[in-house]
Structure 1
Amino acid sequence: MTTTILQFGATGQLAREMLLRSSGGVTIKALSRAEVDVTDAEAVARAIGETPDIDLVFNATAYAAVDKAQSEPDLAHAVNARGPAAMARACQARGVPLIHISTDMVFDGEKTGPYVETDATNPLHVYGASKLAGEQAVLEHCDRVLVARVSWLFSAFGQNFLQMMLKLADTQPLLKVVDDQRARPTASGDVAGFMLSQAQRLSRLPAGAPEWGLLHLVNDGVATRFEMAQAIFQLARPGQPLPPMQPVPTSAFPTPARRALNCELDTVKLRGVFGLTLRPWREALEDTIEDLNTASVNA
């Protein structure tokens, strides 16, 4: 039996991984920004209400420019909060579940250990506040919703830390990388793989099932940005010396949006309710770099 997902977003790294990895058991109907503007509540409602034969709605859209959001708060909230709210209301009316992607940046990083789903939130900037508002809105308006918080996403697509490091190494004589921010780096492909593998199950779950609500969905293992950068070059350039790199504190890079230092998410619900653990981030990174190299060869 085929499960059909209506996906908002077609070009972002997670949206593209969903499309790339979907198989015969899952059909994805992806809507690009040109087809449906998620800030238009009526257009969102029409898309969900009128698209035939859908079992699940997946929101892969986001305003993700963390620093730019400081000067564009209304746009950030329109995309990250009001758009998802419209999706949730339409999903509730249609009787289909919603999967919504959120972020580790809803936390302030002051906790000593990893954050669990029930920890208090306290975003440090507009982007985090807009994502938190989106979480709250979808949980309020839809009784079958999964809010998956992810962290430090990387893939062979789009703009992310992996691709940025590889490009900077070709142009900068010395790479200065922060070493006091830590999180669980996460492959977009692994997030997509989880969503696709769980699509049929989630489409059939009733309201009130323990799977619904907040979920921390990250790869296994913790790293700092500096440690992740080291791993990138070790895996991308095996047998070669690492480029000149210098660990620096976050304060060395003043930004409009203040960054949390501890972004580590605990996966207690993923393990306990879903019975799953995503593989170690370094293993996922190695496969992603192979995908990136293959894409470069075939380009």
Structure 2
Amino acid sequence: MSSFTHPVDSGESEQSLLSRRQSEMGSQYAVESGIFMSSFTATVFVAALATTGLLILTLLIALTVMLKSCQSTNSGILEQVKKINQHDCCNFYILHAELNNLEVNELPLKCKLQAHQYSKRQYLKDLNTSIWFVEDYFGRLTPDDDGLDIILLDADDMLSLTGNFSRISSLDKNEQFEDIKHQASILLVRMHIQLRASGWSLFLFTRDASKHRNTRESTLTSFGCIGWASLLMRYDDEIQMEDWEYLSRKRLQLHNKGFRILGLISSSLDAFRGPSLGRRSFKLPNLQYYMNWRMPTQPN
């Protein structure tokens, strides 16, 4: 009896084993096809995503603020560079105009305003610095005993600061510019006295005709310029000459007479053209030129 029932049990066992295997395979499939996550883990995961999003948003806001700040800073820098470039450009314009003796209408309006401001704010500083260079240079030298070492000084720099000189601009009649001219004359006289005290022989020159000699000498003396060796002026045959040509001719005549020009001092560029300029040249700032660019009204 028992032998009859054994195959049946064996078949059932096989079916049971097969069923368990199918059940395990199904279970494995269910696990592999999805991710089981508890509610706590899901909460942590969502919080992490929210935190990451918040950090990214904060970073974007920070970058936006930084970008706007950089744009504002760069805009200020660019504006400053623009002003500097305009200032440098006007300096070249003004130098070119002075070199070529241009008229007022040949300078851009923005540069006329800059030239006007220069005469009020910077001219006296530049003049004082230029005179310091002159005094320092000649203070370290000693003229020879033969009396042939000379310094050429532009007397028109002093004369142009007086109200009765023909080259003075008719525009400069306010008190501020009168004070500037007065202070400039003090500096020029100081330079004159210092050079004379160091033993230098001073040859003054002017572009004016010799028929005005007495008047010019009297004006220079009233300012305190005394003790010069000579005052060079135009003769009749030099009246029609260009200023630079006349001045060059005077220097050449001095050179041919054996004089040694140790220095040439002037605010006008025409004095530095031609031969026989001497050992050292000193260009002073030209107040008369800048004052001719004054504007009738002040900018707002």
TM range (shorter): under 0.3
Using structure 1 for the length normalisation, give the TM-score. Answer: 0.27
Larger radius of gyration: 2
Larger fraction in strand = 1
Larger fraction in helix = 2
Using structure 2 for the length normalisation, give the TM-score. Answer: 0.27
